[in-house]
Amino acid sequence: MALLRRRPDLALPAPVDISTLANRIGVRTSINRALDALDAYSLRVLEVIALLPSPVRRSELDGWFADRDATGRAVSNLRDWALIWGADHALHPVGAVREVLGPFPAGLGRTLADLYRAVNDLTLAPLLRRFGLPPAGQPAAGAAVADYIGSNLASLLAESTEEERAILRRLAAGPPIGTAREADSPVRGLLERGLLVAVDLRTVELPREVSLALREAPAGQVSATPPGLGVIERGGAAIDGTASTAVLDIVRLAELLVQAIADDPVGQLRSGGVGVRDLRRLAKQLDQAEDIVALLLEVSAEAGLLASSSVMDPTFLPTTEFDDWLAADTAQRWVRLAAAWLGMTRQPSLVGQRDDRDKTIAALSADVERHSAPGLRRQLLQLLADLPPGQAPDSAAAVLAQLAWRAPRRAAAHRSAATALLAEAATLGITGYGAITSFARALLDGMTAEAVRAEANAADLLRVALPAAVAEFLLQPDLTVVVPGPPTPELQRELGLTADLESSGGASVYRISPGSLRRALDAGRTGDDLLRFFAERSRTPVPQALEYLVRDAATQHGRLRVGAATSYLRCDDVALLDRVLAEPALAALGVQRIAPTVLVTGAALAPLLERLRAHGYAPAAESADGSALSLATEQPRLSVRPQSRNSRVRSSTIPEQQLVEVVQRLRAAEKLTAAINHATTRVSQDIPGVTSASILEILRTAVREDLTIAIGYVDDTGTPSQRTLSPISVGGGVVRGYDPSDTRLRSYPLQRITTVSLLED
Amino acid sequence: MTDGPLIVQSDKTLLLEVDHEQAGAARAAIAPFAELERSPEHVHTYRLTPLGLWNARAAGHDAEQVVDALVRFSRYAVPHALLVDVADTMDRYGRLQLVKHPTHGLVLVSLDRAVLEEVLRQKKITPMLGERIDQDTVAVHPSERGRLKQALLKVGWPAEDLAGYVDGEAHPIDLHADGWQLRDYQQQAVESFWAGGSGVVVLPCGAGKTLVGAAAMAQAKATTLILVTNTVSGRQWKRELLARTSLNEEEIGEYSGEKKEIRPVTIATYQVMTTRRKGEYRHLELFDSRDWGLIVYDEVHLLPAPIFRLTADLQSRRRLGLTATLVREDGREADVFSLIGPKRYDAPWKDIENQGWIAPAECSEVRVTLTDAERMNYATAEPEDRYKIAATARTKLPVIETIVDRHPDDQVLVIGAYLDQLDEIGEHLNAPVIQGSTPNKERERLFDSFRSGETRVLVVSKVANFSIDLPEAAVAIQISGTFGSRQEEAQRLGRVLRPKHDKRQAHFYTVVSRDTLDAEYAAHRQRFLAEQGYAYTIIDADDLLRPL
């Protein structure tokens, strides 16, 4: 259990028995992930274990590390992670650990003996001469040189100049290889004395013995405890307070963004995502930097407020959940966004950067996907959460230094991502003054335990931190409205209708204009409603100019009337129309008078004519331009589309043989579907024609671990189908493998694959 | 969370609740670095801009003071990002300095080598710099001093100009303080200008900007070039200088379309300076004709583009800009900052009015309903003619007459933009008309007769928008304007704001045609005044015509 919690990837797909699990423990990718989560000290201990010939005795390590207790803790930690096995007198690294750690564990190069064994005679000759050794050929020469250097290391090192020493120190700290330029005289000097070994024309390597002789601690500089994190006492209220301003902003911006997309939907690029031009437009509309807008887009999409429509021309549109979200209060809205951010496998800071093919990475595209993101995010925030409440780290750099100890591999690989994550956390109000806020802390706790309760907790805490909502405002003679605090949702709705937002933050400033008033009138408010609203809610008297403006807008509004009618009746004789209106038999047609000489009805032209004629009137039909219209020849007809060719073909008979095949195929598909439904790992391809990293990952896993997969495939006529495959290789844009049913070798182009599922036999 | 009067918005505006008991203290604390954007009755809006923060930095304030002021008076928590941004922005000022090097002349010195490297890589800046003297010092061609400052401001590293000024040719000038003295705010304005070296003083129309100019000249005691908008206002400067300073008629020259005198104090118009003949500016030599110690720019917000270019060459002379508003319809505020100098003094109109230095004014908008025939004419007109049709509606005539009759004891100015309309009104009211084609002599005569009270009603075109001192005008009726120009509205109001001998109230009427473009433009123009705290009263023309 504990192991599976630490290395959750081992449980996916669920291992059938212990031997499968044991196998998986040693698999390269799994070890890679485990190493990413290891702290600097444990990692170094593991490196030393991997460096030494197995089995390693626990006491051997004491020669490498001064702090025995810490080393003991690290060893048991590594055992818990299932990265080493065996009792204290015989420790072994697990499976591919050596391979994953790379050629230079603990920053140490190969031994003298190993290095000189590989050197050619020509290079060895001057060394033999210099050391006064008898001329010889390989392998004896290499061994002799290595031996000599090993026993005279101190004196050889003592000959070094200051420049040479600097190079040696740098290489000794690791990694032990460097690039040598020809003119580099200090390097040449070292080569001549055998302290450096040229492994090829440009690269030199520092032998392990030389490194160890130079190092103060044999395993290199590594602290058994994390570096101190300087803190500033800010106080919980101040942290929450400053973050609450960010909360207000981000919630408002998310609303504006999605609203902007609703007003002018953003098309999806063919390669997926939002184009640079659209991103710029949104940034301009929101008056925010593009990276903020990219973050907002990603978070809103992750929170389900925004999605891409799946029609022919996909566009991004708000979802119905957006409306629910709008109805919630600020705290709940924020929780929704923050929770989405915490869990998302996307890295918005990639947007706008260039990918390997030098193409700009678009927001909401598959390229922003990073499976490492949630782990990194959680670890960074946990680091902040480990500080006592009210204390803020003194700088972002200090936080990153902490991370570098806690997870050195991760920190090194994701340094820029980690910096960006801290900035995102501040933008989102997860942190204030760099410290985690009480509400974000509550949310973080819910990541492992109960999410729903944690979200409610977070919302409650946030409500306390947010300034109290205000239900009144100040009206100014320049027709601006100032709400001196966050408005209540009701006030916000009403003001949003009658005025335009100009500035927001702690307070909101709205401007009333004829246009904004017209909008309110369009929504069904009357001029008196508006004046009453202003008078009731304003702390200051309503300026006369505003009164005039409202009255003017109200009089102007609705002077032109628009309605829907199907037919009209007109007649210059008002009395005749009176008669028609009074006719009880025509009441069913819903005839209404809109002007003395005009009647309208929702009934169609033909029944109206018929009814009028039946009652002794003599109406004439006219077209829109007033010319007479003859309806006499019109007979009722059904409008039917011509039958399509397909439907005619469909009605013909099918040969027996074909039927059998169909049934067979159906049954096979049924079985396959059942198997797919069983599958725990299934990835679909959202963007046709582009293979995402996750699909590739599954394919590669299947190749590596010899698994059977089901793929959704579209053939060259565009017909989708399901196929099963035991893949043997992925590459060159195709996946090759055997079809388990007939063991024939098949290959499928990757871009035609729409879904991939791992099947369990 | 305190209960302060200030709300800091994340878009860098500051809202100050005026009625709050700490409002005064908060205003004093934020005034040095925040620019007052609007000051209507209840809540004033300030804005944090890089220019404003640099202005504060130039005046010796540091980021800590700014942050402290924001946090101390803020009602809610202040966004952390904003505080960081303030500190960063202020830190950018003065990393580069322009100083006089004893051997190399004008040099650019950096206190931060990385900034200098960044700046040196700018393609636009490199040609203005000479050889690199050492790692932190680069020679600057003296002629590029202004353009370099402009360019550095554009890339966000404004240079502190410590290179000083030439004294210019000395000339004795003293203020003639008999029976009057500089008002407190005028004194402060001159002091902050002088301390800063060069810069702009912002004061409302009628608040005595000319005196600030005269006091600055008395401080400089050097030959002075004064640039004004037109001849009439130039003569006014001359009159004022003769009355208030020790200068005599012989010492003040006029350089205009009519006369070309160059004397220790020379008053030139923008127009003559920018006149070109055969593609060349003919009168540029004026700038070099004397060793000027001070250059005064009247109405800086109207400064035409060629003058900016000329000013760039005059960076070693002290420059004083005077204006009622830094709002430029062309958005060249940054050029004013880098070429003339930072804003040195600024006071809200209402404050000066409350001190009694400008006449209190009552602003009214009179709405006229067009006759049906006029409405039809308006509705069917070409879009480009519509404004004229609405603004010059004949229906306005009786209304104007009624307003004039309502103020039988006051001197009335009727201001409009369309000449045929002005002529018509002049005839109707039996009043003289001044317009662009009126010869200067005739203008002077009419203005004099108005000042002396002989003429009670004067109809003027937009020639009277600027700098014409008609102290006794107490009523202004605006009947048509230049589309929606906000500073035009401010200038016109300025005509009636000079304090009256009997502290009488001034009236400012705008007559507009209801439901037309005229009303729309009027609304736009009024915004500026409403933001300055003037409430508009709307009057229905029918109520005026049928007195209660």
Please tell me which residue, B86 or A673, carries the higher pLDDT value: B86
Tell me, what's the ipTM? 0.71
Rounded CA-CA distance A80/A74 in Å is 10
Cβ-based contacts of B74 with chain A (< 8 Å): 506
Rounded CA-CA distance A137/A93 in Å is 37
Whether omega for the bond prior to residue B50 falls within 30 degrees of 0, making it cis, is no
CA dihedral A90, A93, A94, A97 (to 10 degrees): -170
Checking if the pLDDT of A657 tops 70, the result is: no
Q: Are A246 and B81 in contact (CB under 8 A)?
A: yes
Task: Annotate A695-757 with DSSP letters as a single string.
Answer: HHHHHHHHHHHT-EEEEEEE-TTS-EEEEEEEEEEEETTEEEEE-TTT--EEEEEGGGEEEEE
- Binary contact (B13, A238; C-beta < 8 A): no
Q: Which residues contact B104 (CB under 8 A, 6 or more apart)?
A: B133, B137, B139
Cβ-based contacts of A237 with chain B (< 8 Å): 1
pTM: 0.66
- Binary contact (A509, B530; C-beta < 8 A): no
**Which of A232, A245, A534, A542 has the most B C-beta neighbours within 10 Å, making it the best mutation to test the interface with B?**
A245
Give the confidence band of A642 by pLDDT, cuts at 50, 70, 90.
very low
Find the closest chain B residue to A556 by CA distance: B515
Q: Which residue carries 């049954």 as its tokens?
A: A667
Which residues lie across from B266 on neighbouring strands? Answer: B225, B253
Whether omega for the bond prior to residue A55 falls within 30 degrees of 0, making it cis, is yes
Rounded CA-CA distance A490/A329 in Å is 10
- Binary contact (B80, A467; C-beta < 8 A): no
Give the dihedral sign, CA B298/B302/B303/B306. negative
Q: Are B95 and B137 in contact (CB under 8 A)?
A: no
Give the pLDDT confidence score for residue A682 in this predicted structure: 64
Rg of the Cα atoms in chain B: 25
Rounded CA-CA distance B460/B446 in Å is 11
Count the helices and strands in chain B (H runs, E runs). 22, 25
**Which of B6, B9, B71, B524 has the most A C-beta neighbours within 10 Å, making it the best mutation to test the interface with A?**
B9
Range A146-174 average pLDDT: 80
Find the closest chain B residue to A482 by CA distance: B43
**H runs (alpha helix) in A523-567:** 527-537, 544-556
Find the closest chain A residue to B524 by CA distance: A478
* Closest CB to A477 among B13, B41, B365: B41
Task: Annotate A115-171 with DSSP letters as a single string.
Answer: HHHTS-HHHHHHHHHHTTPPP--TTHHHHHHHHHHHHTHHHHHHT--HHHHHHHHHH
- Binary contact (B79, A556; C-beta < 8 A): no
Give me B165's structure tokens. Answer: 């000024």
Going residue by residue through chain B, which has 548 residues, state the pLDDT in tens, using 9 for 90 and above. 457 888 888 888 888 888 888 887 888 788 778 877 777 778 888 888 888 888 788 777 888 888 898 888 988 888 888 888 898 888 888 888 888 888 888 888 888 888 888 888 888 888 888 888 888 888 888 778 888 888 888 888 888 877 777 788 888 888 887 777 888 888 888 888 888 778 888 887 667 888 888 899 988 888 898 988 877 778 888 888 888 888 888 888 888 877 888 888 989 888 787 777 776 666 766 677 778 888 898 888 777 777 777 777 777 888 898 887 766 666 677 788 788 887 788 776 667 777 777 777 788 888 888 888 888 888 888 877 888 888 888 888 888 888 888 888 888 888 888 888 888 888 888 888 888 788 878 888 888 888 888 888 888 887 666 556 676 778 888 888 766 566 677 677 777 777 666 667 788 888 888 878 887 777 777 776 677 667 678 888 877 776 54
CA dihedral A412, A415, A417, A423 (to 10 degrees): 150
Q: Which residues contact B255 (CB under 8 A, 6 or more apart)?
A: B261, B262, B266, B267, B268, B269, B272, B283, B286
Rounded CA-CA distance A335/A487 in Å is 19
- Binary contact (A249, B10; C-beta < 8 A): yes
Q: Which residues contact A215 (CB under 8 A, 6 or more apart)?
A: A172, A173
Chain B nearest-CA distance from A503, in A, is 7
Rounded CA-CA distance A247/A236 in Å is 16
Chain A nearest-CA distance from B515, in A, is 8
Q: How far lies A638's CA from each of A606, A610, A642, in Å?
A: 16, 20, 12
Rounded CA-CA distance A192/A87 in Å is 45
Closest CA to B355 of B203, B483, B199: B203
Using the Cβ of A555 and the Cβ atoms of chain B, whether some distance falls under 8 Å is answered with no
Count the helices and strands in chain A (H runs, E runs). 34, 27
Rg of the Cα atoms in chain A: 38
Count Cβ neighbours within 10 Å for each residue of A294-332 and write b for 16 or more, e otherwise: bbbbbbbbbbebbbbeeeeebebebbeebeebeeeebbb
Q: Are B428 and B397 in contact (CB under 8 A)?
A: yes
How are beta strands A84-85 and B318-323 bridged, if at all? unpaired
Q: H-helix or E-strand containing B132?
A: strand B129-134
Q: H-helix or E-strand containing A236?
A: helix A236-263
Tell me what the pLDDT averaged over chain A comes to.
79
Q: Are B478 and B510 in contact (CB under 8 A)?
A: yes
Closest CA to B14 of B31, B92, B1, A471: B31
Give me A478's structure tokens. Answer: 């320049």
CA angle A733-A372-A98, nearest 5°?
Answer: 80
- Binary contact (A241, B17; C-beta < 8 A): no
**Which of B1, B18, B76, B367 has the most A C-beta neighbours within 10 Å, making it the best mutation to test the interface with A?**
B76
SS3 A455: helix
Which residues lie across from A130 on neighbouring strands? Answer: none
SS3 A444: helix
**Which of B8, B10, B37 has the most A C-beta neighbours within 10 Å, making it the best mutation to test the interface with A?**
B10
- Binary contact (A509, B45; C-beta < 8 A): yes
Give the pLDDT confidence score for residue B548 in this predicted structure: 46
Closest CA to B463 of B495, B421, B431, B428: B495
Q: Are B183 and B244 in contact (CB under 8 A)?
A: no
Neighbour-count burial of A292, counting CB atoms closer than 10 A to its CB (0-12 exposed, 13-18 middle, 19+ buried): buried
Closest CA to B509 of B353, B362, B397: B362
Chain B nearest-CA distance from A506, in A, is 6
Using the Cβ of B67 and the Cβ atoms of chain A, whether some distance falls under 8 Å is answered with no
Phi, psi of B330 (to 5 degrees): -100, 5
Q: Which residues contact A224 (CB under 8 A, 6 or more apart)?
A: A41, A65, A67, A70, A71
Give the confidence band of A16 by pLDDT, cuts at 50, 70, 90.
low
Task: Give the number of other Cβ atoms within 10 Å of residue A256's Cβ.
Answer: 18
Task: Give the number of other Cβ atoms within 10 Å of residue B316's Cβ.
Answer: 16
Rounded CA-CA distance A567/A601 in Å is 6
**H runs (alpha helix) in B293-337:** 305-312, 333-335
Long-range contacts, stretch B58-67, CB < 8 angstroms, 24+ apart: B58/B93, B58/B94, B58/B160, B58/B196, B58/B342, B59/B32, B59/B196, B61/B32, B61/B33, B62/B90, B63/B87, B63/B90, B63/B91, B66/B33, B66/B90
* Closest CB to A467 among B1, B514, B515: B1
- Binary contact (B78, A242; C-beta < 8 A): yes
Task: Annotate B66-106 with DSSP letters as a single string.
Answer: HHHHHHHHBSSPPPHHHHHHHHHHHHHTTSEEEEEETTTEE
Beta strands, E only, A394-507: 431-432, 435-436, 474-475, 480-483, 500-504
Rounded CA-CA distance A403/A92 in Å is 28
Please tell me which residue, A65 or B471, carries the higher pLDDT value: A65
Give the pLDDT confidence score for residue A647 in this predicted structure: 42
Give the pLDDT confidence score for residue A648 in this predicted structure: 41
Cβ-based contacts of A241 with chain B (< 8 Å): 1, 76-77
* Closest CB to B40 among A243, A476, A544: A476
Give the confidence band of A15 by pLDDT, cuts at 50, 70, 90.
low
Which amino acid makes up residue A84? I
Sheet holding A592-595, edge to edge: A567-570, A598-601, A592-595
Give the pLDDT confidence score for residue A656 in this predicted structure: 63
Q: How far lies B426's CA from each of A88, A212, B432, in Å?
A: 112, 104, 6
Rounded CA-CA distance A149/A620 in Å is 119
Q: How far lies A730's CA from each of A9, A713, A760, B50, in Å?
A: 22, 16, 20, 56
